Amino acid sequence: DGGITQSPKYLFRKEGQNVTLSCEQNLNHDAMYWYRQDPGQGLRLIYYSQIVNDFQKGDIAEGYSVSREKKESFPLTVTSAQKNPTAFYLCASRPTLRTANEKLFFGSGTQLSVL
C-alpha cells in the first residue's frame, strides 16, 4: 500500500535525552513536512524539505533537527534543548512542486510524552 508511515506511534522521552521520530513515504513525493499539534491548537510547522539534501526551518524549529538524505525519509530529532516536547507530531508529504497540486497528505502521527 502506498502512503506515509510514522513510527513509533507512542514515544517516551527522559529528561536530557534526544529522540528521533521516523517518517517514510513511498508516494514518490518531493516535499516532506513535520508539524507539531498541541491540544486545541492548529498545526504548527517545524521543518520542511522540498528536495533531497535540502530543508528549511518552519515557525517553531528551535529544539528540533531534521535530515533529508533520501527522498523517502525525513526523520525528526527532538533534542534536549526542546523544553516542552510533549505533543502529537505529524509528518506530511506532497507531490512535486512543478505541479499546481497543493494537496498535503499526512501520516498517522507519533505521540511524544516526557517521563
User: What residues line the site for other proteins (CB under 8 A)?
Assistant: 4, 6, 31, 40-45, 48, 50, 58-59, 88, 90, 92, 94, 97, 100, 102-109, 111
In this complex, which beta carbon is closest to other proteins, that of residue 22 or of residue 111?
A: 111
C-alpha cell at 95: 507531490
Minimum distance of other proteins from residue 98's CB (angstroms): 11
In this complex, which beta carbon is closest to other proteins, that of residue 58 or of residue 75?
A: 58
In this complex, which beta carbon is closest to other proteins, that of residue 50 or of residue 73?
A: 50
Shortest CA distance to 33 belongs to which of 1, 4, 63?
4
Q: How far apart are CA 55 and CA 53, in angstroms?
A: 7
Q: How far apart are CA 48 and CA 74, in angstroms?
A: 9
